[in-house]
Structure 1
Amino acid sequence: MLTSNRKLLIGATLIGLGFTPSLIAQEVSNTIAEQAEESQKKASKKHNDVERIQVSGIKSALESGLRDKREANQVVDVIVAEDIGKFSDSNIAETLQRLPGVQIGRSQTGEGSEISIRGLGRSITTMNGRTMFTGIGRNINVKDIPSESLSGIKVYKSPQANQIEGGIAGTLDLQRVKTTNFNKSKGSINIQAQYADLSEKWAPKISGMVGDSFDTEYGEFGALLAFNHQTRNTRFDRQRTLSFGRELANPNNPDAKGSTGGGFVYGTEETKRNNIVARFDWDPNENSHYFLDMGYIDFSEDTRRNALNYRTSKIAKKKETIKIKEADYSNPNLDVTKVTYINPILQSLSQVETRDTKTYDIALGAEYFIEDVTLNLQASYVSSESDNTFKNIRLGDTAKKDEITLDYSNAKNSAPQVTTTLDFSDPSNFVINQFRDQITNTKSDEVGLRADLTYDINGDFFQSIETGLRYTSRDADRSGFDLNPKGVKVATSELADYFLLSDSDFYDGEAGLGSGFVIADMDAIVGNDAEVRDILGVKETSTAPANNLQFNITEKNLAGYVQANFESEIGNIPVSGNFGVRIVDTQRDSESLAIQGKNNEPTQVSTDETNTLPSLNVKFEVSDSVLVRAAASRVMSLPNFAALAPSVHLTSNNGNDLVIVGNPELKAFTSDNFDIGVEWYVNDSTALTGVFFYKEVDGFTIKSTNKEIHFGQEYDTQRTINGEKGKLKGFAASYQQFFDFLPGIWANFGVKANATYIDSEAPSPVDGLDLPLQDLSKTSYNLVGIYEDDKFSARLTWNWRDKYFDQLFRNKPVFNSGGGVLDASFNYKFSKKFKVKLSLKNINNKEVHSYYQDEYRPRDFAINDRRAVLGATYKF
C-alpha cells in the first residue's frame, strides 16, 4: 500500500512525464525527411559518452580528462582508460588517490582499501550510473575491482538532480565501454607478473578484451567481452603496543601510564580476483538504442596471522599479579623509559581468516530519440554474497616466574624493544587455552527500475527539461555463528604434530626477535578439523548460540526528480548549468534478535523517511580559457545496514552488565554543500584549477550510553544515535602541464600536481573525547613527473597525506602519522600493437606508524611489501 509520501512523489513526477504520450504520437507522425534531418543531432547526442576509444598515450589521456572536466556542468574529475592502465595500481582506490580532494586508507598489507572525498568516507559508487555494492555494504569494496576492468572513472563532487542519491562525500561513477562506439574490431591481451619482496613470491595477472561493432540489415550491433584474473601474494610485519592503562609510579608525572601489553605480528595475504564483463548494444535505427550490460566479480582473500603477544596488566579487575621489578623514568617525554615486569602473560596466537565474495550485476536498457524527446528505460539487478570465516588457536605460557623488559627509549620512532626470559620456541612452555571459530554470511540483492525523460527546448535560456522516476528494492541479510568456548586447557603435546616455528626474519631482523616462536600449523588444523575438535573437546560451530550477527532488512526506495538545463549570457559572459530537485522516500522493514544468554526473541521494526535534495550548478565562461563554477546542493547517505538492525544483546564484562542495541530509527546523513572554483585552461594539456568548498553535515553518528529497560529490568544501554551537526571547509588546487614549448628532449616532459587542505568540526564518536573526523588528513598532495616520447613513457608519483584519526581501539583513539608513498611506472612501445611495462610500488618502503594521541605512546609500527610488476600488452 502506498504511503502519502510516495503518492505525492509519484504524482509530482508524473506531471513532468505527463506530456510524453502526446509528444511521442506527434513525433511518430512526422515525415521521414524531418526525422532524417533530426537524426544526425540525435546520433551525435547518443554517442557522446565519456569513453573515447581513440585515446592513446599519457598526454592524450590527460588531455581527454581535462576536456571532459571542462565541458561538464558539475564539479568533476575524470580519469580515462589509458591513464588507468599506465599506473601500477592494484585497484581503483589506488588510482583515485591522485585526484585532488581524494584520500585513501590502506589495508594491513598496504593495498588501497577505503576512499574519502573531501574528508568524508560516505561516497556512493555507481557502475555506468547504476548502484553497485559488496555483501551488505552500501558501496562496492574497492579491493574487489581491478583497475584494468574499466574504461574510465568520474568523480562527481557536486551532484545533479538526475543522479542517484547516496553519497554525501561524492559519487564515483565507474565506466564500462559502449560497444557501438567502436569503429572497428578491437582486442587486447595483457600478461603481467608481480613480485613482492617480503613474501618473496611471484604472482600472475592477466587481462584481455575483444569487441566489435558491425552493420546489418537490422541495424548496428556491438559486442564486448572482457576478463581479468589477478593473484596477489603479500606479507606484512607489525609490532603492536596495547593501550596505555597500566598504573606507574613515575615520581615526575602522576598521570604516567604504561602499556598494558603488545606483540609481534607477521602475516601473509593471498588475494584472487576474477572479473568478467559482457556488453551488447543494438541500434536498429538512428532513433533508438538497446543494451545489455553484465558483470561478474569473484574475489577471494586468505589471510594468515601469527603473533607473539604479551600482557603487562591483567584484563580482569582483580588483584594485579604482574609486578614491576624495576623502572627507569629518566626521559621526561616518556611515561617510562625502561621497565621490567615479573610474571607477565605471554601468548602465541595463530589465525586464519578468509573472505569469498561473488557479485553479479546485469542491466537491460532502451533509449529512444524522437525529435526533441529522449526517453531512457532501464531495469537492473545486483546480487552479492560474501562468506567469511575466522579461526584461531591461542597458546598461553605455563611458566610462573618469567620476566619481560620493555625499552621505550625511542618510542616516537619505533616500537619498544622487548626481551624476555621465556623460551618461546619450546612448545612445552605453552598450553592450548583458546579455540575460536566464527562463520559469517552476508547476502544482498537489489532490483532497480528507472525511467528518465528529456525534452529539448533549445530556447534562449532553457535548453532542456529532465524528469524521471527510480524504484529499488533491496534485501540485506547477515547470519553467522561465533564459537568461543570457555575453559579450553589442553597440553600442546596432545596436538604435537600441529605446531611449528615461525619465520625468524621478522621485521628485517630489527625487532629484537632472535629466533622463531611456536605457532599453530593452521593448514593442518583446518584440514583435520574433526580430529582437532575432538581432542580439544570443542563442538561444531553450528551449535553455537545465536548472536547479534544476525539480521534481515528490506529497504525500498522511490526517487523522483525534475531538472532544468540552461544556457544563456550575462553581458558578454556565457552562462550554463542546471538546477533541480530530487525527492527520495525510503521504507525499511528490519528484523533481528533480542539475546539474553541462550535465550533470544525476534525483534521487528518498520520505518519511513523522506528527503528533499535540491541542487544548482552554474558555469561562467569568463573568457576563452577561464571558467568560474558555483554549486549548491543537499545530498544524503543512508546508514549502514549493520547499524540499522534492531538487535538487543546483553553482555557481561568482569561482572558489569551492558546491553548493546542497534538503532533502526537512525536517520539518513544529509549535507548542505557549497562550491566555488576557478579553472584556467591554458591549452589542451595545461590547466590550473582551484575550488573552495564548504559542507554542513547533519546526522554524524555517535555512541551514547543511558539507562533503559530490557528483559524486564534496567541496564546501562549503549546505542548509536544521530549526533550534532558537523562542518567541513577546504580548498583543493590542481596543476597540469606538458612542456612541449621547450626545445629538444625537454618537450617530452610534463608535470601533474594537486594539493588539498580541509578543516573540520564534528561531534566526537565517543562521549568525552574531542576527536576530528575519522580518516581525514588536514593536508594532502600529489606530485607526478611525466616523460613521454614516441616509444617510451615514464611516470614517477609521490602521494602524501598528513596525520589523521584512524580508529578507536577499545575506546582509545588511534592516530596514523601519515606520510608519503613513492611509485613509478615505465612503458616501452615496440609497435602500435605491442608494448612492455614495468611498475614499481612502495619504492621508499614506507613504514606505517600509529600512536595513541601522544606520539610518545606508540601503537603500531608496520612494514609491507615493495612490489614490482613486469608485463606486456598486445593489441589486435
Structure 2
Amino acid sequence: MHARRRFALRATVAALAGAGLMSAATVGAQEVGAATADVPAASAPSNAENNTARASADRDAAVVTVTGTRQAAQSAQAIKRNAEQVLDSIVADDIGKFPDKNVAEILGRVPGVQVIRQNGEAGNVVIRGLGGITTLYNGREMFTAAGRSLFLADVPVAMLQRVDVYKSQGADMVEGGTSGVIDVRTNRPFDFKGAQAAFNVRAEHRDKADKIDPNVSGLLSNRWKTAMGEIGLLGGLSYQRGRYHDETAFVGEPRTIDRGIIGAPSMGRVMSGGDRERLAGNLSAQWRPSSDLELYAESFSTKIDHDSQSIFFVGDLPINNPGSTVTPMPGSNYLGSISNPNVNTFTLSSTQARRDDSETHQGAVGAIWKATPGVRVSGEVVRTVSKYSQKNPILDTVMNMSKAINAEVRDGGGYLEYPGTDMTDPANWTMFALFDNHNRSRGAATDWRGDVAWTPEADGFFKELSVGARHVQRDASFVHELNGYTAAPNSFTPNAIKVTDFPGLNCTSPKTGGNYGMNQFYAPCRDYLLDNTGAIRQVIKGNPNPQPDNPLSFYSDREQSSAAYIKANFGFDAWSLPIDGTAGLRYVKTKQRISGFSSTAGVVSPVTVSSTTNDVLPSLSMRAHFRQDLIGRLSASKAIERAPFGDFNPGLTLFPSTTTTLATGTAGNPNLMPQEARNVDVALEWYFAPAGSITGTLFQHDYENYLRRSARPETYDGLTYNVSRPYNAVEGKLKGAELAYQQFYTKLPGWLGGLGMQANVTWMDGGLAEADGTINTFAGMSKLSANLVALYEYGKWSGRIAYSWRDKFTAEYNYRALPYNIVVDPLKTLDASVSYKLTDKLTVTLDGSNLLDQSYHDYHSVPELPRDVRRYDRVVGLALRWRN
C-alpha cells in the first residue's frame, strides 16, 4: 500500500506538471522537499509543447525559489529523475545565475553534448555527436532568420531559469530534432512569492584581444492580488559587448611537390576578430482571474550588431623553384621544410570585413482553463519574426617582389617567415581583387496549438489522456550578391593600384599569440572597407555601386505543418513492481512550396516546386521503480528532421575559378526527403541522495534518408565545378552509452562538507552507409567525451572547476574533393568560477574560461599533413550581483 501511495503521488504531480498547471518554481520546491524526505518528487514538465504556459499551482500554494549551487544541482537531478523522457537539465544557482555567459557554453557540460568555441565564445552545439537539434524557448519553436533553429549563443544566461536537453521525444512535443531538443526556460512572475529584483554587472577581459568589455543585466518582477484576480509582471534586460581575437596558422591542402615529396604548396594565417554587441529583453505577464483560469502573454527579443574581420595571409611556397632547399620529415616522404634565399612567389593579404545585423522577436498569448475537476484545456498563439543581413566586402592585396622565404612543419602546424622583408610596409602591397559580397535572410512563423487533458477520477490503469493539435506556417527567404568577384586592373605591373593611395585603408594585422614565424603583416583596414566600400568599388570596378542580388541564390519557402497527437499516461503494478509511463502517436502533414530561379544554357527562369509529406511518429516511455531510489527507464520513439530551407533551393549558382579560389558551385535539392530516426534509450538511475546519483544510459539511433551535404565534380558548358549539394544518404546507425555521477560530500567534517563532484562520460560509435557499402563515422562525432566538475559551497563561498574533453573526430570527408579527410585532435577546456557573498544581497564572482589556452588542431588524414592550429581568447570576468 505504501508503494501504491507513493506511485499515486508521483502520477498526480506528474499530471499537473505535464499539463502546465504547476510552475517550474513550484515543481522545484516539490522536488526539493520530496527528495529531502526521500519520497519520489514532482515530475518535470512532461513535454515541450503542452506546458508552454507553465502556470502556477493553486493561488494559495507556496512558491519556493531554489538557490545555491547544491540546491540547483538537487533540483536538476529531481527534474531528470521524474521526467517522462530521457533528459538532462541545468538549473540556475540563483535568478539567472550560471557560471557561463550564454546557453551554448552552459551545455558543454551536459552528458552527450559537445560544443565548439569560436568568435570569442561557444556556438556550435551537437547532441550525441550530431546536429539536427530543435531549439525551443519556453516550449515554443524558436529560430534565427531562415534557419531551422536558434543560434544558442544569442541567448544570455541572465534571463534563464534552466535549460532542458531532451534526448527522447514524446507525442506531445514539437516534431523535429532527430538527435535531441533543447528547451530554454525563463523566469515568470508567478515563479516568485512577490516582488523580486536582481541586477548583475560584469567586466570581462580577453587576453588575445586585450580588451575589457561590459556585461550588464537586470530583472524586475512582482505579483499582486486585485479585485480582478492575481496579476504578475516580469521584465528582464541584458546587454553584452564582446571584442575578441581568434588566430589560425594554416597549411594548404597536400599534393605531390618537389622530388615526389607530399606537402602543401602554401602556408598562411587567418587572424579573426570582432566587436559584437547583444541586447536582449523579455517580458512576461500572468493573470489568474480565478483558481481555474490563467491567461498569459510574454515576449522575447534579441538584437545583435557585429562588426568582424578575417585577415588572410597566403604565402605560396617555392616548390619546384630553382634555388629551393626541400627537406622531408625524417624517415618519411612528407614535407618537413622548404626555403629559398631569393624568390618571388605569390604572396597575398586579404581582409574579409563583415557587418552583421540580426534581430529576433517572439510574442505569445495563451490560456489554461480547468474546465472541470478532471479536464484541462489550454491554447496558445505565437508569432516569431527574425531577420539577418550581412555586408561583406573582401579586398585582396598582393606583394610583387623577390624575397627570402623559410617554411616548415613545426609542432603540428605551419611555420612561415620572410627574413629581411618588412611585411607590414604598405608600400610593398598593391590591390589584387575585390569580392563585393552581401546577403540577407528572413524567417517568420505563426504558430497555434491547443490541448485537452482528462484525468480520470478513479485510480485505474490510465492516469491521464490528452489530445492536441498544432498548426504552423513558416516562411523563409534568402538571397546573396551576383558576381561579387572583380579582379583589380594592372595587377603585377608597375601600374597596379597602390594601397598607399588610400591612407585610411592601411593597417597591420594583430600580433600572433603563437609562434608561427612571421608575427605581423600588412592588412587592409576592416572599418575602412565597411565604411568606404564605394571608394574601393570605384577604383577596381569603375563605379561605386554595390552588386545586385543574384536571382539564382534566391529562394522563398512557405512551409505549412499541421499536427495532431494522442497520448496516454498510464501506471500499474507488475508483480508488486510499480511501472508508469506514456504512450502516444503524433501525425504530421507538411506542405511545402519553394520558389527560386534556375539557369539552363545561360537563361535564368523562375521555378516553383511543391511537395507534401505525411509522417506518423509513435512514442513509448516507461519507468520501473525497482526501489524508492532505483529507476529503470525505457524510451522508444520515431523522430523526423526536415532539411534546412536553403537545401531545398532549386537554383544552381556557379563560381568560376580565380587565382586564389577553385571553381565551385552550390545547389539545392527541392525533392529532399525528411531525415528519419528510430531512437531507443534504456537507462538505469540510482538516486542515493537528494543531490547524489549514478545514472547510465544505452542508446541507439537508426537513421533513414540521413541528410548530408557533400561536394562533387560536375561539368557545365565544358567546365568542371566542385558543386556542393545536399543528399539523402542511404542509412545510418548510432549507438552509445552515457554514464553520469553526481554527489555532494556533506558528511565530511567542517569546510570539507561543501565539496561536490559531477562527472560524466559518453561513448558513441556508428556512421553512414555509403553507396559503395563502406561506412564512415558521422562527421563531427567524437567517439569518447567526458566532463569533470568540482563543486564547492560552504558558508559565503561557492565555486566550481569544470574540465571538458572530447576525443578526436573527422570534421570533413574528402576535403575539397581530395583523397584526404580533415581530422581534429582531442579538445580540452578548463573553466572555473568562485563566488563570495559580501552580504545577503550582494555577491562577487570571479570566473575564467579557456584557462588552458587550448588550441584547436586538425590535419589532412595523417598528423604529418597538418591543416590548422587555431587559438582563442582566454577570458577572465569579474561580476557583482545584487538581488533583494
SS at match of 2:777: coil
Distance 1:768 1:715, change over 3 A: farther
Identify the range of structure 1 (718-727 vs 640-649) with the bigger mean alpha-carbon deviation: 718-727
SS at match of 1:777: coil
Query: How far apart are the structure 1 equivalents of 2:746 and 2:369?
Result: 44
Deviations 1:172-214 (A, max 9, x none): 1111223223211111111111111111111001111011111
Q: Which residue of 2 aligns with 1:872?
A: 880
- Aligned pairs (5 A) from 1:242-281: 242-250=252-260, 256-281=261-286
Q: CA deviation at 1:660?
A: 4.9
Q: Which residue of 1 aligns with 2:870?
A: 862
Quick check: 1:88–1:840 contact (8 Å CA) kept in 2? no
- Aligned pairs (5 A) from 1:349-388: 349-369=350-370, 370-388=372-390
1:664 aligns with 2:670: yes
Query: How far apart are the structure 2 equivalents of 1:828 and 1:199?
Result: 28
Query: How far apart are the structure 2 equivalents of 1:120 and 1:760?
Result: 11
- Aligned pairs (5 A) from 1:97-496: 97-109=108-120, 111-250=121-260, 256-312=261-317, 325-329=324-328, 331-333=330-332, 335-340=334-339, 342-369=343-370, 370-399=372-401, 401-408=402-409, 410-412=410-412, 414-419=413-418, 422-457=421-456, 458-482=458-482, 483-488=484-489, 489=491, 490-492=496-498, 495-496=501-502
- Aligned pairs (5 A) from 1:740-819: 740-763=746-769, 771-807=776-812, 809-811=815-817, 812-819=820-827
1:832 aligns with 2:840: yes
Deviations 1:734-793 (A, max 9, x none): 1000111122221111111111000112146x9999642122111111111111112111
Distance 1:182 1:658, change over 3 A: closer
Q: CA deviation at 1:714?
A: 12
Quick check: 2:488–2:540 contact (8 Å CA) kept in 1? no
Q: Which residue of 1 aligns with 2:688?
A: 682
Deviations 1:20-60 (A, max 9, x none): xxxxxxxxxxxxxxxxxx99x97997542334451111000
1:50 aligns with 2:52: no
- Aligned pairs (5 A) from 1:502-517: 502-503=508-509, 505-508=511-514, 510-513=515-518, 516-517=520-521
Q: Which residue of 2 aligns with 1:59?
A: 70
Q: CA deviation at 1:507?
A: 2.1
Quick check: 1:407–1:418 contact (8 Å CA) kept in 2? no
Query: How far apart are the structure 2 equivalents of 1:499 and 1:716?
Result: 34
* AA of the residue aligned to 1:287: D
Root-mean-square deviation (Å): 2.8
Q: CA deviation at 1:432?
A: 0.3
Q: Which residue of 2 aligns with 1:566?
A: 570
Identify the range of structure 1 (656-665 vs 386-395) with the bigger mean alpha-carbon deviation: 656-665
* AA of the residue aligned to 1:274: L
Q: CA deviation at 1:710?
A: 8.4
- Aligned pairs (5 A) from 1:528-567: 528-540=532-544, 542-544=546-548, 546=550, 548-567=552-571
Deviations 1:535-588 (A, max 9, x none): 333434544462543111100001111111101111111111101111111111
SS at match of 1:249: helix
Distance 1:658 1:94, change over 3 A: closer
- Given candidates 496, 503, 526, the residue that maps to 1:497 is 503
Distance 1:368 1:138, change over 3 A: same
Q: CA deviation at 1:478?
A: 0.7
Identify the range of structure 1 (854-863 vs 684-693) with the bigger mean alpha-carbon deviation: 854-863
Query: How far apart are the structure 2 equivalents of 1:443 and 1:324?
Result: 55
Quick check: 1:58–1:86 contact (8 Å CA) kept in 2? no
Segments of 5+ residues of structure 1 without an aligned counterpart are: 1-37, 251-255, 314-319
Q: CA deviation at 1:518?
A: 1.8
Query: How far apart are the structure 2 equivalents of 1:451 and 1:473?
Result: 16
SS at match of 2:752: helix
Distance 1:713 1:832, change over 3 A: closer
Quick check: 2:240–2:279 contact (8 Å CA) kept in 1? yes
Distance 1:707 1:351, change over 3 A: closer
Query: How far apart are the structure 1 equivalents of 2:790 and 2:499?
Result: 59
SS at match of 1:679: strand
Distance 1:760 1:707, change over 3 A: closer
Distance 1:434 1:200, change over 3 A: same
SS at match of 2:100: coil
* AA of the residue aligned to 1:97: G
SS at match of 2:828: strand
Quick check: 1:605–1:664 contact (8 Å CA) kept in 2? yes
- Given candidates 51, 56, 69, the residue that maps to 2:80 is 69
- Given candidates 608, 613, 621, the residue that maps to 2:625 is 621
* AA of the residue aligned to 1:680: W
- Aligned pairs (5 A) from 1:15-26: none
- Given candidates 578, 587, 607, the residue that maps to 2:582 is 578
Quick check: 1:306–1:349 contact (8 Å CA) kept in 2? yes
Identify the range of structure 1 (598-607 vs 146-155) with the bigger mean alpha-carbon deviation: 598-607
What is the count of residue pairs matched by the alignment?
A: 820
Deviations 1:76-107 (A, max 9, x none): 11111227955442211110111111111222
Q: CA deviation at 1:356?
A: 1.1
Identify the range of structure 1 (643-652 vs 734-743) with the bigger mean alpha-carbon deviation: 643-652
Query: How far apart are the structure 1 equivalents of 2:502 and 2:718?
Result: 49
Distance 1:711 1:532, change over 3 A: closer
Identify the range of structure 1 (89-98 vs 530-539) with the bigger mean alpha-carbon deviation: 530-539
Identify the range of structure 1 (773-782 vs 87-96) with the bigger mean alpha-carbon deviation: 87-96
Query: How far apart are the structure 1 equivalents of 2:314 and 2:171?
Result: 53
Distance 1:375 1:231, change over 3 A: same
Segments of 5+ residues of structure 2 without an aligned counterpart are: 1-11, 29-63
Query: How far apart are the structure 2 equivalents of 1:716 and 1:350?
Result: 25
Identify the range of structure 1 (129-138 vs 99-108) with the bigger mean alpha-carbon deviation: 99-108
- Aligned pairs (5 A) from 1:679-758: 679-702=685-708, 719-758=725-764
SS at match of 1:451: strand
Query: How far apart are the structure 2 equivalents of 1:796 and 1:781?
Result: 14
Q: Which residue of 2 aligns with 1:20?
A: none
- Aligned pairs (5 A) from 1:24-39: none
Query: How far apart are the structure 2 equivalents of 1:717 and 1:198?
Result: 37
Distance 1:713 1:195, change over 3 A: closer
Query: How far apart are the structure 1 equivalents of 2:187 and 2:564?
Result: 27
Quick check: 1:272–1:301 contact (8 Å CA) kept in 2? yes
Query: How far apart are the structure 2 equivalents of 1:816 and 1:715?
Result: 27
* AA of the residue aligned to 1:198: K
Distance 1:537 1:660, change over 3 A: closer
Quick check: 1:447–1:473 contact (8 Å CA) kept in 2? yes
Query: How far apart are the structure 2 equivalents of 1:67 and 1:581?
Result: 27
Query: How far apart are the structure 1 equivalents of 2:314 and 2:772?
Result: 30
Query: How far apart are the structure 2 equivalents of 1:108 and 1:180?
Result: 37
Quick check: 1:674–1:695 contact (8 Å CA) kept in 2? yes
Identify the range of structure 1 (769-778 vs 737-746) with the bigger mean alpha-carbon deviation: 769-778
SS at match of 2:646: helix
- Given candidates 638, 648, 652, the residue that maps to 2:652 is 648
Quick check: 2:823–2:858 contact (8 Å CA) kept in 1? yes
Q: CA deviation at 1:505?
A: 3.2
Give the structure-2-normalised TM-score: 0.88
Query: How far apart are the structure 1 equivalents of 2:618 and 2:692?
Result: 34
SS at match of 2:331: coil
Query: How far apart are the structure 2 equivalents of 1:645 and 1:473?
Result: 18
Q: CA deviation at 1:805?
A: 1.8
SS at match of 1:535: helix
